[in-house]
Amino acid sequence: MKSISKMLPGVLALATATVLGLTSANVQAQDKTITLCWAAWDPANALVELSKDFTAKSGVKMKFEFVPWTNFADRMLNELNSKGKLCDLIIGDSQWIGGSAEQGHYVKLNDFFAKEGIKMTDFAPATVVGYAEWPKNTPNYWALPAMADAVGWTYRKDWFAKPEIQAEFKGKYKRDLAPPKTWTEFKEVSEFFQGKTIDGKKVYGAYIFTERGSEGITMGVTNVLYPFGFKYEDPKKPYAMQGFVNSPDAVRGLEFYKSIYKGSTPPGLTNAYMGEGLDAFKSGQVAMMMNWFAFFPGLYKDPNVGGDKIGFFTNPSDKTKGVQLGGQGISVVSYSANRNESLQYIKWFASPEVQKKWQAIGGSSAAKAVLDDPGYPKSSPFAQAFLDSMGMVVDFWAEPSYAQLMLAMQKRTHDYVVADKGTAKEALDALVVDWGKVFKDDGKSK
């Protein structure tokens, strides 16, 4: 509500002016509509419901532009690069933050956060670094953490519990069949289930990401590379990648991912990502499935494979721990004509009460008010696994040239893992060259 700037004589006149001011503000709010852009998936549907509370409180109406994940990056990055006015708010992928900050697509939020008392210390540290900061590890904020996510695993708990399967596995591996904690255990379990007949149907060991066109195989293979010891760069020398991207441990990790693909997955999944994994698990094809935690609430409710039939576990470890960060932050698009209303939405969304409701209706909050609640670990069958995962997440490059960096890794890993071209060492050596050229062209390395 705007304050009255003109004094009118008399109590009645003052009261009348106050009412008129309120009415005018409400009318203005009701005439305002802001558009929020995101991917088309279950959490987006939950956000539509949540945002009804914002409209009820503020009078600002909401429109939504949701794009399937397969087209999301192309559609929205084209919108930003063309300085389009479709989106007032955007929930953009973590990897976009560098380019969107440096190219002026997002509004810098530091002053707004300070004015409104919004503290980044109220959100999980990994999500602040991953979704909001550019440059990384500096207090420069371009988004509010909106959708916390990471890669996790589901498994057929009912298959694992069958006495005859338990006995066969223990006889072969001299240990109880259980969700794998290491990649060595994972390979044993996945190969054990590969080609087995369960309930009269041939099944397979695992589903992993192999998609080449956007980000799929990169978002999959990193879950092996990180625990095996892969690093994007020398921690002491930015953009120095030789001996880190292509270290012996990284080579071993890439070879291992290929061995899982070749020996433990269903036939024909040569270019598959999130949706294909959900289909494979729901149709009873696989014992274990890699996917994003964001899909797990829906899987748990699935009438065929959910409930008591499903279990969840964190990404296996090797010489260390690590898992691919997912998730997104919410940003105000700098080309929006409705900046004030968009910032108003950010302020509303940041409140602990809204974050708790967001979690409850199907979102995934990054707020400590939710994640640090003593009851959170038991709030769902996968909550503890999610907390554990968020403590060991690693993200892909968030550089302005993220798209070129991603395409290079997609090509090199897919060519080796799926297309059987060359060796793992050759693939990672070539990736160092590819990435080095990008950073040289950007003026960030010699």
Nearest one of 127, 125, 165, 153 to 223, comparing CA atoms: 153
* Lowest mean pLDDT segment, chosen from 5-19, 21-35, 67-81, 349-363: 5-19
Q: Following DSSP, what letter does each residue of 211-268 receive, concatenated?
A: --SSSHHHHHHHHHHHHHT--SSBTTBTT--TTTTT-HHHHHHHHHHHHHHHHHS-TT
What pLDDT, on a 0 to 100 scale, did the predictor assign at position 6?
30
**Is residue 221 within 8 Å of 413, Cβ to Cβ?**
yes
30 falls in which pLDDT band (50, 70, 90)?
low
State yes or no: pLDDT of 5 exceeds 90.
no
List pLDDT tens digits, range 202-246: 999 999 999 999 999 999 999 999 999 999 999 999 999 999 999
Which residues sit opposite 290 in a β-bridge?
Answer: 153
For the chain, counts of helices (H) and of strands (E): 19, 11
Residue 24 has pLDDT above 60, yes or no: no
Residue 188 has pLDDT above 90, yes or no: yes
- Rounded to an integer, the average pLDDT of 425-437 is 98
**446 falls in which pLDDT band (50, 70, 90)?**
confident
CA distance 228 to 210: 19
Distance CA 72, CA 95 (A): 13
How confident is the model over 156-173, as a mean pLDDT? Answer: 98
Tell me the C-alpha distance between 422 and 40, whole Å: 37
**pLDDT on residue 207:** 98
d(CA 148, CA 426): 35
pLDDT for residue 22 is more than 50 = no
Is the pLDDT assigned to residue 59 strictly greater than 60? yes
pLDDT of 29 reads: 56
Tokens 């900050």: give the residue.
Answer: 101
Residue 141, strand partner residues: 133
How far apart are alpha carbons 356 and 369 in whole angstroms? 7
Query: What CA–CA distance (Å, rounded) separates 275 from 283?
Result: 12
pLDDT of residue 148: 98
- CB burial of residue 189 (10 Å; 0-12, 13-18, 19+): buried
pLDDT in tens, 257-288: 999 999 999 999 999 999 999 999 999 999 99
| pLDDT, the chain, mean | 93
| Preceding peptide of 43 cis, ω within 30° | no
- Has residue 25 got a pLDDT over 80? no
Distance of alpha carbon 242 from the chain centroid = 28
Q: Is residue 443 scored above 90 in pLDDT? A: yes
Going by the DSSP 8-state scheme, the letter that residue 357 receives in this structure is: H
Q: In this model, does residue 430 exceed pLDDT 70?
A: yes
Tell me which residue of 281, 286, 287 sits closest to 157, measured CA to CA.
287
Contact assessment for residue 387 and residue 376, using Cβ atoms and an 8 Å cutoff: yes
Average pLDDT of 290-308?
Answer: 97
pLDDT of 13 higher than 70: no
Note the pLDDT of residue 7: 31
Q: What is the mean pLDDT of residues 7-29?
A: 42
Q: What pLDDT is recorded for position 70?
A: 86
Q: Which residues contact 69 (CB under 8 A, 6 or more apart)?
A: 39, 40, 41, 214, 273, 274, 275
Cα torsion at 233, 235, 237, 242 (round to 10°)?
Answer: -30
